[in-house]
Structure 1
């Protein structure tokens, strides 16, 4: 066994007591089991899924029949990075890690037994256990956490700032959406939304070298950031008829690929209308309400290829390399870094969506 010294017996952690009832508490530091690793959390990001968990599914969707999104008494937080402080030889050999290494784990902890895991589609694991949603797998809004034996653990360069390194989770998700689009060199790619996922989509698409990347958003500062991330053209949806403009730019055909990362219902119809016949639509967002569209556009009008995207299957090593390359302007993407004690401010910033791009909590930091 290898371990660091001075591991405390208690720690600060955010506890979910129910919808909109989160509180900071002093709780025991988790004990790792055989083959597991104890990690000191360096940073944890907050995203739309955390908001869905916070508000509770019923309120989030406005549907009282929807079940709660997370179990009570769970520690939330599923996009994180930390430092190994304790592990045994089994864990060290399995993951190739040692005390002092900077590590992250994919947000899903696969069962490795269901039909999805057995076919290589571990991101769609049947039990679908994820950090920060089930009591069995506490998340990272805490000073320490445990990676269980089934986890997918990756080393992360130690020179990356913690909040930047924790961006590997949303970036891997964005890269999976890009993979689902099967980009070609001739494609005109439209990315809707220039938040964390959209910016990751732009960076991922840029790495595929399509003919053109067009970014859409309503916020000028986010569009400027999209340009620095790799967009060839940015369009403000409040100032430009984007469907007409894209038709003009593509000789009346429409875009080849549409990557949706806004979570706004209007962005779905927008994408269907600006795509060419036989175009490809990839949906990644978490929506707060049902979306209605004219399905005849998908079938009779254009025969579109509509694909969903979930998590970041097999994209984490690439996301780590992309972060390490400096391709993304992370100093501008990570707009807020707060101590764990200010978790509520972090949730409120993400909920507003107007003052931040990426909000991270830094356990151990002081206000």
Structure 2
């Protein structure tokens, strides 16, 4: 077990499956045989452009950060895991010592080592060495694909937690990519009784119903703001969660929230400056929350997905092998209307 296959990004649209050394374990790490890896929008962006904002691919890098697998070896200091355990892999290893880690907001750690974020390699490989406290056991009946979906699901859980979603609330989810669809599941888990989901693609709107949305609206066919007002008796929603990453949906989230409501901004628009109406925000006493990844969500994510709260494997519309990783990335890049979650199974 000295060599392994890995999908390596060399530059825009240039990925190669090649043989690399299996990583050596540190005392606090476990070696995981990767079983399933979801293709994320960030993987596609690095594949297409070679960078995301200030994160630039300057040397060959393994993609992938949504993963599940089986522990095949443990370091000498590891006491919480055993060989043979099935795990969901939380991809951001933090320092544990800074102000943010000590506050429990370790997603803000400035020294985080996040899989497939330059300069750190990711999980499109046969074996991955990971600090053991970021490996979360999953039950035998839970699939490795579901384990990989714990990562985008964690974003939805974190958004709902930050926005204070509670039983009886009305929630709007604006944008139904995998994160948006799993945010629908998260809102359901938090007890929201009305979940309004908006997108442009019929396949995603239908999937939102499967995941627990009580009303869906096609933004190409209807005015989403008017639809939300009709569904809420003119009040607006208790929490508007933006997951599309467009200027229009950022603005819509603020408009759709009721007076005293919450707005959670998950998606990142192409232009970072969005012309919000400050009068609307101040006069309505809106609480606006930025959402960056997640913290303290993985055990809950695993428990909820294992409970069968939603048939999340239905989100996986296309499956590829590691040797077909380029095809997987191209499918996710070029077929946004016909695919939802593209998965690489090893």
TM-score, normalization: structure 2? 0.93
Which one of 182, 185, 203 corresponds to residue 200 of structure 1? 182
Q: What is aligned with 2:70?
A: 83
Any idea what the Cα deviations from partners look like across 1:51-92, whole Å, max 9, x if unmatched? 23223466x6xxxxx54434522222111011111114421x
Q: Please report how far the alpha carbon of residue 257 of structure 1 lies from its aligned counterpart in structure 2 after TM superposition.
A: 1.0
Q: What is aligned with 2:239?
A: 257
Report matched runs for 1:201-220 at 5 Å. 201-220=183-202
Q: What is aligned with 2:33?
A: 40
- Structure number having the greater strand percentage: 2
Any idea what the Cα deviations from partners look like across 1:18-68, whole Å, max 9, x if unmatched? 33332211111111122321111101111112123223466x6xxxxx544
> Do residues 124 (structure 1) and 108 (structure 2) align?
yes
The question of whether the paired residues in 2 share the 8 Å contact of 1:16 and 1:75 is answered with yes
Q: Please report how far the alpha carbon of residue 179 of structure 1 lies from its aligned counterpart in structure 2 after TM superposition.
A: 0.6
Q: What is aligned with 1:63?
A: none
User: What number of residue pairs does the alignment pair up?
Assistant: 345
**Rounded Cα–Cα distance in structure 1 between residues aligned with 2:55 and 2:165:** 37
**Rounded Cα–Cα distance in structure 1 between residues aligned with 2:202 and 2:295:** 32
Q: Please report how far the alpha carbon of residue 146 of structure 1 lies from its aligned counterpart in structure 2 after TM superposition.
A: 0.3
Q: What is aligned with 1:141?
A: 124
Q: Please report how far the alpha carbon of residue 270 of structure 1 lies from its aligned counterpart in structure 2 after TM superposition.
A: 1.6
The question of whether the paired residues in 1 share the 8 Å contact of 2:55 and 2:117 is answered with no
> Do residues 242 (structure 1) and 224 (structure 2) align?
yes
**Rounded Cα–Cα distance in structure 2 between residues aligned with 1:83 and 1:211:** 37
Q: Please report how far the alpha carbon of residue 104 of structure 1 lies from its aligned counterpart in structure 2 after TM superposition.
A: 2.5
Q: 1:224 to 1:42 in 2, by over 3 A?
A: same
Show structure 1 runs of 5+ residues with no match.
1-7, 61-65
**Rounded Cα–Cα distance in structure 2 between residues aligned with 1:219 and 1:197:** 15
**Rounded Cα–Cα distance in structure 2 between residues aligned with 1:316 and 1:127:** 20
Q: What is aligned with 2:255?
A: 273
Q: Please report how far the alpha carbon of residue 249 of structure 1 lies from its aligned counterpart in structure 2 after TM superposition.
A: 2.7
Q: 1:73 to 1:355 in 2, by over 3 A?
A: same
The question of whether the paired residues in 1 share the 8 Å contact of 2:11 and 2:50 is answered with no
